[in-house]
């Protein structure tokens, strides 16, 4: 055909190759002037109808499935002159992988993942159309070289393997493929489905990584002996076989290979993309997201998804529908795919009988010929894009929960989310590798008015999340029980069809400890994969060098959130790896000491590395936490990186860090940055005290945006005790506040701040004996912070029982700082001082006690204060306002000088609050009202510490509407000191002036009932008795007037 014109359009340049079915030529398309590849069917093959149909199938495959990894078929028909069927395709330049292996040997792991990711996308698409390749091998994977672009895979010889063998080609396969890559069902002559290509993909991966096929050693065997060996599937571990050939494979590869090449097709990966992303996890190389390819996640499992018992279709062009009910997900959300290995022995089959039938159907000669791979490049075949959604490796629906007050769904969600958070790191760190309960239920990935008040309260949360979990390769089910000694967790690991793969139980004082025990058992047995390396983005953001380090860091985060006694052990585990954790190792060393109330270590700030987003953010948080410094140039560098960072995890961490640093100087920008952080990755737990949801909740506290932020945090991080704690602080409903505070305490019983909020709610409900039990339980924590917290609650108990003198004496004694005080102990000491001031105000000794607090906490240098918690900068201005005149002025000046050091706990409207407090201390009530005005829309925490002052200021200004709003906020807040607070006397007086006798009497009696039997004189009790007496006289006078009026009418 050389130099001739074929089909009136294609000028033949040269012959490229030939096989039993046809020949391939390089041609010039005279209509376009472009070079093409022309495949022409041999005349003797064209006489057979079945072969002509196979030939046409190639064109149909390309037409039905578009993909950059299939050879484009541009034209097809029959030549009028010769009657020969032909195909015109794109002309490829390069070599197949068989040639590359012979030329260069084994490929690097990253290159293998890059190339096989493309193969996987193509296979998923063809499988979705009912087309199975059946002869996947290196020589059928053509590497197309492209100018100025990365090489690209093209799969060739789609659907023709069976035909070639029937024509007697000595170097290609029959209907069942090439023996060294064939699945056991192919060797048996059984019908095959997509699982056969998955098996071959596993074998190809081994070949590319090692440089020779798994069955290389068996090539010299006679066909029957080889078939009897191969039909059982690989028995010798892949790593051991590779080692004998001088190649070392990642430890996790064995588990992956066992699943990919399992003798039972039902137990292999369900999709090629899932298999290759799992391989990426095993090798520590993230599977590539390809240009122009969009991965999707099902809203629910597609009805037409091929089940194991349906995967028996042949390579005919039977089309299968695909569901339109999908929600598109970007590459940011899809990531690492499944691994999970079923270690149960394969089911026994009558192998010899079936083998005999399969080999007889082929003929012994054909089977012998199949041992030789076709190594000729053939640039002629189609391969598709991913038309099926890629799926996560593991989904974690809401578990059954018991041992806590109903509704218990929140605990089931907390346990499930804890499992998935640890699994994400275990799989290499990609956020897309797991699906949290929030994702399964479709919760908004940012604060929203659509977020439910109590996200997991209804029974439908478990049902719906369990149904949606089958979108993943694996999912968990089970139960979590909270008992007297901690938690018990029972987990069943299932595949996407709901069939159990493995199960395990775990126990622990903290929830994460019980979950960890379960996961350790599953990993040991190979049911849960463990990545060889972290994904680069996770390694940069977490600052860990390996999976073990990243897991230790996450477990420490969980130990902080589930503070049930395991925190010292988690701190010690991180300390062991501190040298491998860069800046985070220093942060956690400091944070552990701080939280346990131990002396914080000396920290040397490492050099600034702006090239690494993770290093830049971590160093900034370290400088912020330890040195209370937020250099503007560092803030700007972080903001710049946040806009440019390549991964959602990096963007999220950078935005959260920027919010932390901006909180004291620019609260508005801080709130915006925190929101951007959550939007970038609502699953991101990185950032210590500046973690995204925690930071967003902190910067919005006391504002109208707080409830939505807290609801979002509860939905996405139900394992985080502070999500429920902040919910207790944000709600105005006393019953809900107590419920949320109890949940926080269930998760974190040794967290003294959690216990403090719970104690306040218990006091509000009159449950003093429960507070005594709480104090006893927390005091068993064994660290200074627990001892000081116990003293604080004993002060509260005394005050609640009207032993005010005793409570004040105890508080002034234990609020005194000690040389060894550090970290959270300092916050607890100041809280005790605050209790002393509240009692002092009741007894008319407020200035005396406030002056004492200023002397202990503000005058020393350095001051024994810690500004990481909002209580500190919130209460100090209120203390200054209550001090004597001269001390008050010095106190406010000192507070301003310390503001930068207290930046970690500053609320957005702190400046307005300080200005109002200072005006009030000066006696300028009009100025105080003006300064306080910005706080009125969401008075929240401010009215809780200076409610009486704010009421007095706005009453003086005649702002009745604002006074009413403040009273509503105060009434909604918890009542302290045996169910009464000083502002109630103001409310009673105001109601009496307005003629609302019932309201005046109600508040007055609460004050009297609380403190009438106190062990010291309480001036407010005298005032309220006088108010009731005056009210009674007024009623009597009114009654007498009424009687006189009545008698006059008779």
- Token digits for 608? 């600034």
* Lowest mean pLDDT across 366-370, 479-483, 676-680: 366-370
Residue 783: cis peptide before it, omega within 30 degrees of 0: no
* Lowest mean pLDDT across 14-18, 488-492, 542-546, 661-665: 14-18
Let me know: does 892 contact 877? Beta carbons within 8 Å: yes
The full length of the chain comes to 1050
Taking only the tens place, the pLDDT of each residue in 581-611 is: 989 999 999 888 888 878 788 888 888 777 8
Q: Residue 458 CA to chain centroid, in angstroms?
A: 22
Q: Where are the beta strands (DSSP E) in 97-166?
A: 141-146, 149-155
Residue indicated by tokens 């102990």: 825
CA dihedral of 964, 969, 970, 973, whole degrees rounded to 10 = 160
pLDDT for residue 561 is more than 60: yes
| Model pLDDT, residue 298 | 34
Count the Cβ atoms, other than its own, within 10 Å of residue 199. Answer: 29
Q: Decide which of 348 and 871 is more confident.
A: 871
Let me know: does 926 contact 956? Beta carbons within 8 Å: yes
Let me know: does 731 contact 454? Beta carbons within 8 Å: no
- Please report which confidence band the pLDDT of residue 1000 belongs to, taking 50, 70 and 90 as the band edges: very high
Q: Decide which of 463 and 703 is more confident.
A: 463
pLDDT for residue 720 is more than 50: yes
| Model pLDDT, residue 579 | 87
| Model pLDDT, residue 258 | 94
Q: Where are the beta strands (DSSP E) in 122-188?
A: 141-146, 149-155
**Cα–Cα distance measured from residue 79 to residue 178, given in angstroms and rounded to the nearest whole number:** 32
| Model pLDDT, residue 862 | 87
- Please report which confidence band the pLDDT of residue 731 belongs to, taking 50, 70 and 90 as the band edges: confident
Multiple choice CATH, 391-415+450-528, 3.30.160.100, 3.40.50.720, 3.30.565.10, 3.30.1050.10: 3.30.160.100
| Pairing status of strand 500-508 against strand 486-495 | antiparallel
Q: Decide which of 389 and 841 is more confident.
A: 841
| Model pLDDT, residue 784 | 83
Distances (CA, A) of 221 to 216, 232, 316, 518: 10, 16, 33, 45
The angle that helices 960-972 and 940-956 make with each other, rounded to 10 degrees, is 150
- What average pLDDT does the segment 258-265 reach? 93
Query: 376's torsion region: left (phi>0), alpha (psi -120 to 50) or beta?
Result: beta
**Cα–Cα distance measured from residue 377 to residue 469, given in angstroms and rounded to the nearest whole number:** 43
- Please report which confidence band the pLDDT of residue 664 belongs to, taking 50, 70 and 90 as the band edges: confident
| Model pLDDT, residue 787 | 86
- Token digits for 1032? 């009674």
| Model pLDDT, residue 888 | 96
- Token digits for 783? 């660290």
Name the binding residues for ATP: 39
| DSSP state at residue 856 | I
**What does pTM read for this prediction?**
0.57
| Model pLDDT, residue 197 | 94
Extents of the domains making up the chain:
5-90, 94-289+339-369, 391-415+450-528
pLDDT for residue 216 is more than 80: yes
Taking only the tens place, the pLDDT of each residue in 571-585 is: 999 999 888 898 999
**Cα–Cα distance measured from residue 541 to residue 653, given in angstroms and rounded to the nearest whole number:** 7
Q: Decide which of 646 and 863 is more confident.
A: 863
* Lowest mean pLDDT across 258-272, 911-925, 972-986: 972-986
CATH code 3.30.200.20 for 5-90:
yes
- Token digits for 636? 């700007």
Count the Cβ atoms, other than its own, within 10 Å of residue 1035. Answer: 11
Of 161, 49, 160, 140, nearest to 97 (Cα)?
140
Query: 105's torsion region: left (phi>0), alpha (psi -120 to 50) or beta?
Result: left
| Model pLDDT, residue 832 | 94
Taking only the tens place, the pLDDT of each residue in 421-448 is: 999 999 999 898 999 999 999 998 888 8
- Please report which confidence band the pLDDT of residue 537 belongs to, taking 50, 70 and 90 as the band edges: confident
Of 197, 216, 37, 211, nearest to 120 (Cα)?
197
Taking only the tens place, the pLDDT of each residue in 26-61 is: 999 998 889 999 999 887 777 777 667 767 766 666
| Model pLDDT, residue 1007 | 92
Q: Please list the residues that pair with 328 across neighbouring strands.
A: 296
Name the binding residues: 39
Do 391-415+450-528 and 94-289+339-369 have the same topology in CATH? no
Let me know: does 713 contact 678? Beta carbons within 8 Å: no
Q: Decide which of 902 and 995 is more confident.
A: 995
CA dihedral of 358, 362, 364, 369, whole degrees rounded to 10 = -120
CATH number attached to the domain at 94-289+339-369: 1.10.510.10
CA atoms within 13 Å, Cβ hemisphere of 788: 30
Average pLDDT score over the chain: 81
């Amino acid at each position: 055909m050389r130099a001739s014109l074929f089909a009136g359009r294609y000028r033949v340049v040269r012959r490229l190759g030939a096989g039993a079915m046809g020949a391939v030529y390089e041609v010039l398309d005279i209509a376009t002037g472009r070079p093409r590849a022309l495949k022409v069917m041999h005349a003797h093959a064209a006489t057979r109808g079945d072969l002509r149909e196979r030939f046409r199938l190639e064109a149909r495959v390309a037409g039905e499935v578009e993909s950059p990894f299939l050879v484009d078929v541009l034209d097809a028909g029959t030549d009028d002159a010769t009657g020969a069927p032909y195909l015109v395709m794109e002309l490829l330049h390069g070599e197949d992988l068989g040639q590359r292996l012979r030329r260069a040997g084994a490929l690097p792991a990253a290159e293998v993942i890059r190339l096989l990711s493309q193969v996987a996308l193509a296979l998923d698409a063809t499988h979705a159309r009912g087309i199975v390749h059946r002869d996947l091998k290196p020589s059928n994977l053509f590497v197309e070289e492209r100018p100025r672009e990365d090489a690209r895979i093209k799969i060739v010889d789609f659907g023709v393997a069976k035909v070639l063998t029937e024509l007697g080609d000595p170097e290609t396969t029959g209907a069942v493929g090439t023996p060294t890559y064939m699945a056991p069902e192919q060797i048996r002559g059984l019908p095959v489905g997509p699982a056969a290509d998955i098996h071959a993909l596993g074998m190809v991966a081994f070949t590319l990584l090692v440089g020779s096929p798994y069955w290389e050693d068996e090539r010299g065997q006679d066909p029957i002996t080889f078939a009897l060996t191969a039909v059982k599937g690989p028995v010798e571990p892949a790593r051991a076989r590779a080692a004998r050939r001088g190649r070392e494979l990642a430890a996790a590869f064995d588990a992956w290979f066992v699943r990919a090449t399992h003798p039972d097709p039902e137990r292999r990966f369900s999709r090629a993309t899932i298999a290759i992303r799992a391989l990426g996890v095993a090798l520590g190389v993230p599977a590539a997201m390809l240009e122009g390819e969009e991965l999707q996640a099902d809203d629910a499992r597609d009805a037409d998804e091929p089940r194991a018992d349906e995967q028996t279709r042949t390579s005919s062009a039977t089309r299968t529908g695909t569901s339109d009910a999908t929600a598109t997900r970007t590459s940011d959300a899809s990531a690492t795919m499944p691994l999970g290995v079923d270690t149960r022995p394969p089911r026994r089959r009558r192998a010899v009988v079936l083998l005999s039938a399969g080999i007889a159907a082929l003929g012994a000669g054909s089977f012998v010929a199949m041992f030789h791979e076709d190594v000729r490049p053939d640039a002629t075949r189609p391969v598709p894009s991913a038309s099926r959604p890629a799926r996560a490796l593991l989904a974690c629906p809401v578990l059954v929960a018991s041992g806590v007050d109903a509704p218990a769904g929140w605990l089931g969600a907390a346990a499930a989310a804890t499992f998935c958070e640890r699994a994400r790191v275990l799989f290499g760190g990609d956020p897309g590798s797991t699906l949290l309960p929030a994702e399964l239920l479709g919760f908004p990935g940012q604060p929203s008015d659509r977020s439910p008040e109590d996200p997991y309260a209804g029974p439908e949360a478990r049902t719906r999340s369990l149904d949606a979990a089958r979108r993943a390769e694996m999912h968990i089910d089970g139960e979590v029980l909270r008992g007297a000694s901690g938690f018990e967790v029972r987990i069943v690991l299932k595949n996407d069809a709901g069939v159990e793969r493995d199960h395990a139980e775990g126990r622990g004082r903290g929830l994460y400890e019980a979950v960890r025990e379960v996961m350790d058992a599953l990993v040991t047995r190979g049911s849960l994969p463990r990545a060889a390396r972290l994904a680069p983005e996770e390694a940069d953001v977490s600052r860990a060098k390996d999976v073990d380090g990243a897991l230790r860091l996450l477990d420490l985060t969980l130990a902080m959130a589930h503070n049930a006694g395991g925190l010292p052990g988690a701190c010690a585990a991180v300390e062991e790896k501190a040298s491998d954790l860069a800046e985070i190792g220093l942060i956690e060393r400091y944070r552990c000491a701080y939280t346990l109330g131990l002396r914080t270590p000396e920290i040397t700030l490492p050099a600034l590395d702006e090239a690494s987003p993770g290093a830049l953010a971590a160093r900034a948080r370290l400088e912020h936490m330890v040195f209370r410094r937020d250099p503007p140039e560092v803030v700007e560098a972080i903001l710049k990186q946040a806009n440019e960072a390549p991964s959602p995890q990096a963007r999220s961490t950078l935005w959260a860090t920027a919010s932390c640093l901006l909180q004291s100087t620019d609260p508005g920008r801080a709130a915006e940055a925190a929101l951007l952080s959550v939007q970038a990755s609502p699953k991101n737990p990185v950032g210590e005290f500046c973690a995204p949801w925690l930071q967003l909740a902190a910067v919005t506290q006391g504002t109208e945006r707080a409830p939505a932020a807290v609801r979002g945090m509860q939905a996405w991080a139900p394992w985080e005790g502070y999500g429920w704690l902040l919910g207790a602080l944000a709600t105005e409903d006393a019953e809900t506040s107590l419920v949320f505070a109890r949940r926080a305490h269930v998760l974190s019983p040794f967290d003294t701040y959690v216990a403090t909020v719970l104690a306040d709610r218990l006091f509000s409900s009159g449950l003093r004996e429960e507070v005594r039990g709480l104090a006893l339980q927390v005091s068993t924590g064994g660290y200074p912070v627990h001892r000081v917290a116990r003293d604080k609650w004993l002060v509260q108990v005394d005050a609640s029982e009207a032993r005010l003198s005793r409570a004040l004496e105890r508080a002034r004694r234990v609020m005194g700082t000690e040389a060894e005080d550090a970290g959270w102990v300092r916050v607890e000491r100041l809280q005790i001082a605050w209790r002393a001031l509240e009692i002092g105000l009741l007894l008319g000794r407020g200035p005396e006690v406030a002056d004492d607090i200023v002397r202990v906490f503000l005058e020393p240098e350095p001051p024994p204060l810690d500004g990481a918690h909002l209580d500190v900068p919130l209460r100090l201005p209120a203390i200054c306002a209550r001090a004597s005149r001269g001390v008050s002025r010095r106190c406010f000046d000192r507070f301003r000088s310390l503001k930068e050091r207290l930046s970690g706990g500053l609320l957005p409207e702190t400046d307005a609050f300080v200005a109002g407090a200072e005006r009030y201390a000066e006696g300028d009530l009009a100025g105080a009202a003006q300064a306080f005005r910005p706080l009125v829309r969401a008075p929240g925490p401010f009215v809780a510490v200076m409610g009486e002052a704010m009421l007095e200021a706005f009453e003086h200004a005649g702002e009745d509407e604002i006074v009413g709003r403040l009273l509503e906020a105060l009434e909604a807040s918890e009542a302290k000191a045996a169910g009464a607070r000083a502002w109630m006397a103001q409310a009673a007086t105001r109601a009496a002036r307005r003629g609302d006798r019932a309201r005046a009497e109600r508040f007055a009696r609460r004050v009297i009932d609380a403190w009438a039997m106190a062990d010291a004189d309480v001036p407010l009790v005298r005032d309220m008795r006088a108010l009731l007496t005056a009210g009674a006289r007024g009623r009597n006078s009114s009654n007498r007037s009424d009687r006189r009026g009545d008698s006059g009418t008779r």
